[in-house]
Amino acid sequence: MSKHQWFTDLQAMITEGIIKLNEPLCKYTATKLGGAADLFVMPGNIEETITTVKYAHANQIPLLLLGNGSNMVVRDGGVRGIVLHLAKLNKIKVEGTLIHAEGGANIFDASKVAASHSLTGFEFACGIPGSIGGAMAMNAGAYGGEVKDIIVQATVLTEAGEVLVLSKEELELGYRQSIIAKKGYYVLSADFRLEEGDQEEINAKVADLTYQRESKQPLEFPSAGSVFKRPPGYFAGKLIQDCGMQGKGHGGAEVSTKHAGFIVNKNEATATDYIQTIEMVKAEVKKTFGVELELEVKIVGEE
């Protein structure tokens, strides 16, 4: 079955979403890198998401969840099969001290909504650029807080299109890991339990964390965020900095001079430039300190 047939079939099933053939993924990734998807699907709602996943499974079509593209590097050759982008699943609701957010909503937007309702516990996420789904999969965290501190449950979709509701314990959240990542589940929504707080204190904390992020991270250039996981007993950025890697790279990609844990697309880089810079950093840290850096970002697609 050709991608043109996939397009025709799904076009009949998806009325509120968007379907495109040969869509450049650089338009949707935080790095501004990546080749085209055979078929790009942005469902208009949860039902259309389930329909797309079931269709791909029934027809044995490879399916990649893009999320909001903040923690992913797409190779220059693009992605074969269907790329699922959940940007339209972005509703956020507040019920008492509970925040209900759909999987495609930005986690920092959920943090802002919580703050505006004088709810505390979500401030740590005010600078995290990922989607709720990506944050759940990676148990995202920053500034002493993480998703597992506030999560109640998540509704997920299996690769076969079965809907499951998973409790905090069933999510198996650890350092940058979860059952979602292990099983390849798609997050439809998540519920977070917060506490009532003082509006001024919450605003002050958000302002402080926002300042810390903006002053220390290279937000002026496209990047995939923090590239490497924290090695036990070390900080990845410090190891890279101590190797003298800042400002070095391949092509238009380089290790940030502002924060060594970031690799930025400084001057019209290709995904190949970005990945070669990652490999260069890993090799130098291994040679200098004997530490094997593990990727926090996901590299997908074809050369």
Active site residues: 176, 226, 296
Query: Could you give the 3-state DSSP secondary structure of residue 193?
Result: strand
Q: Which amino acid is at 261?
A: G
Contact 56, 81 (CB under 8 A): yes
Contact 88, 107 (CB under 8 A): no
Q: 118 CB contacts (<8 Å, ≥6 apart)?
A: 196, 197, 198, 199, 202
With CA atoms as reference, report the closest residue to 123 among 198, 64, 203, 224: 203
Contact 299, 76 (CB under 8 A): no
Contact 125, 211 (CB under 8 A): no
State the DSSP string of 110-147. Answer: HHHHHHHTTEES-GGGGG--SBHHHHHHHT-EETTEEG
**Alpha carbon distance 63, 85 (integer Å):** 11
Per-residue tokens: 266: 């400084």
Contact 299, 275 (CB under 8 A): yes
